[in-house]
Structure 1
Amino acid sequence: MRTTFVLAAALIVATALTLLVMIGTDDSEVPGTTQPLRALYAIDPPFAFLDRTGRVTGVAPELLRVLSREAGLGEIEFVHSDFGQLLHDLAMGRGDIVVNGAFVSSELMQQVRFTTPFARVSAAMLVAAGNPRGLHSLEDVAVRPDTVLAVIDESVELARAERAGLSRSRIQRHGDTPGAVVAIIEGRADAFVLTDVSLRYMLANSGFTGIEMATPFVSTRQIGQPDRGDPAFVLRLQDEALARRLDQAITAFVPSDDYLELVMPFGVGAVNIPAAMPDTR
């Protein structure tokens, strides 16, 4: 997943979300019951992407299809957005749920409602084959003034890089994973930090060569930035009834063999099942 959202996005959507909460909604008007559930997504393999036929697929869309049936919801209408605009589009009412797995964060809980997490992922680093710069952590990149780090724009990895001491001039922002990977291959960047699930899936399915995951990768825990993430769906604060339905479905389905059968083709395995479900409300 990719996903992850930088906490700065809260500044963009806070005012709009506050207004929407003030308006409120009735529990009988649960999104997805009488009208299609509008699911916002951005291209972020393996969490959300298009297959060869143009169908929206990935860990999160396939999981949402199952959970929607279990929660008594109806049709899902997928709405494409840019990664950095997902929360803004949710606040503006262009969708009812953000599909890309967003990391549960106490800061964003003031503006949005997270469902129960549906996975657990860790940070990882992509480097050129052979790891010529000997990079095994964000700190390794930070102490080498001639190195450049690639990240996805508006991602939690961007915030982690800044907290590790990298100046903005040494952080190369990309709109998607392929762009960042090409930067490594062409030598315009020295490392690319993303989730372990996303990088493994990319290496196995993209056809890119001349790159590898840095092994070992030492992910130092930073204040306010844990070294792993718990992806969850994101809803508006007022959609408590929808959250309850999805939470019940997630709690019943995620630990099951059916869950693993559904997500394993996307590189998610038993190690990625959340060990403990944090309080998301």
Structure 2
Amino acid sequence: MPQAKNQITPLGVCLAILWISVAGWVALRFADPPQPQSALDRIRETGVARVGFANEPPYGYLVSSTGEITGEAPEIAKVILRRLGAKKVEPVLTEFGSLIPGLKAGRFDLTAAGMYVTPERAQEIDFSNPTYAIGEGFIVRAGNPLKLLGYEDVADNPDARIGVMGGSVEHGYAQKLGIPEERIVVFPDYRSAIDGIIANRIDAAAATNLTVNDLLAKANDDRIESAEPFENPVIDGESILGYGAFGFQQHDDELRRAFNEELANFLGTPEHLQLIEPFGFGKSTLPGDVTTAQLIGSDEP
């Protein structure tokens, strides 16, 4: 007897069930796509936090004899990350100018390099609240033959050349204070800048005053000295202080906020002050009540 046109065959039933299953899976998949694991959850799950640094004493640097990182920022990071569930800090060394690109590329979870908070940098990454506030300084040849006591002195002397580290705020200071680009020499690190002073390639190397003091103490070279008394740069009518902080990827709000909460409970405590004292920091370098939101002109907490 011929089969009715509207009769459902066993094959048809199987195909219908398969179609309904696939359609349901697709609907669920796209209606509620799985969310990527947050950095904080991954750190808690694996017990490992990847930290980027730039080998710049006293902010963050490698101890070659042990392979461990230390400095103001890494030592604070170890304490805070441990409180957040990390059992191990995995250091990732890079040049200072590569810290932000490396962070954005996911090579590390945060930067611990004493990086200054600036509105320009805050367009690319997020920052914790600051952990210190300090001024600037120059390393010059012994006797400071060109009498360079500040950025304005370099700008006013057509023969003066200044050295800065790639990606540093000092490069921006030099530009804003009128030093022509042809008299600004960019170095990958401060050891190279010191060599540049000694070789008469530059007349001053710009850095934070803590970096200047640390470099001179370690170099122990009577051919170079600190420019004294140094005049802190004045930009838009304000004497510039640098506020250093930890950097985070812009989508890692959970990690940044948790880090900030622990940081607020730690800064200024006896444990904190004892931890940072060997690196030249102390009560005088605390940032006070200044927040990153204030520094970048944001309402974001």
Q: TM-score, normalised by structure 1?
A: 0.85
Amino acid at match of 1:207: N
Q: Which stretches in structure 1 are left out of the alignment for 5+ residues?
A: 1-22
How far apart are 1:231 and its partner, in Å?
0.5
How many pairs were matched up? 259
Q: 1:137 aligns with which of 142, 150, 164?
A: 150
- Please state whether the residue corresponding to 2:234 is helix, strand or coil: coil
Cα distance change on mapping 1:64 and 1:28 into 2, 3 Å: closer
| Whole-angstrom distance in 2 between the partners of 1:159 and 1:225 | 15
Asked if 1:267 corresponds to 2:273, the answer is no
2:95, 2:189 within 8 Å by CA — same for their partners in 1?
no
| Whole-angstrom distance in 2 between the partners of 1:192 and 1:229 | 17
Give the aligned CA root-mean-square deviation in angstroms. 2.1
Amino acid at match of 2:254: A
Q: 1:46 aligns with which of 58, 78, 82?
A: 58
Q: CA-to-partner distance for each residue in 1:91-145, whole Å, 9 max, x for gaps? A: 1111111111221122332331101111112111111122121111111111111
Q: CA-to-partner distance for each residue in 1:38-95, whole Å, 9 max, x for gaps? A: 1111111111111141221111111111111223333211112221111111111111
Query: Share of identical aligned residues, percent?
Result: 31
| Whole-angstrom distance in 2 between the partners of 1:239 and 1:141 | 41
Greater displacement, 200-209 / 254-263: 200-209
Asked if 1:37 corresponds to 2:49, the answer is yes
- Asked which structure has the greater RCO (Cα within 8 Å, sep 6+), the reply is 1
Cα distance change on mapping 1:29 and 1:180 into 2, 3 Å: closer
| Whole-angstrom distance in 2 between the partners of 1:28 and 1:184 | 42
Amino acid at match of 1:140: D
| Whole-angstrom distance in 2 between the partners of 1:160 and 1:136 | 14
Cα distance change on mapping 1:28 and 1:193 into 2, 3 Å: closer
- Please state whether the residue corresponding to 2:206 is helix, strand or coil: strand
How far apart are 1:27 and its partner, in Å?
5.6
Larger radius of gyration: 2
Cα distance change on mapping 1:167 and 1:225 into 2, 3 Å: farther
In structure 1, the residue matched to 2:159 is 146
- Please state whether the residue corresponding to 1:255 is helix, strand or coil: coil
**Structure 1 runs of 4+ with >6 Å offset:** none
- Please state whether the residue corresponding to 2:132 is helix, strand or coil: coil
Q: 1:103 aligns with which of 98, 116, 119?
A: 116
Q: 1:199 aligns with which of 205, 212, 220?
A: 212
Q: Which stretches in structure 2 are left out of the alignment for 5+ residues?
A: 1-33, 294-299
How far apart are 1:232 and its partner, in Å?
0.5
| Whole-angstrom distance in 1 between the partners of 2:57 and 2:113 | 10
| Whole-angstrom distance in 2 between the partners of 1:152 and 1:74 | 33
Asked if 1:169 corresponds to 2:182, the answer is yes
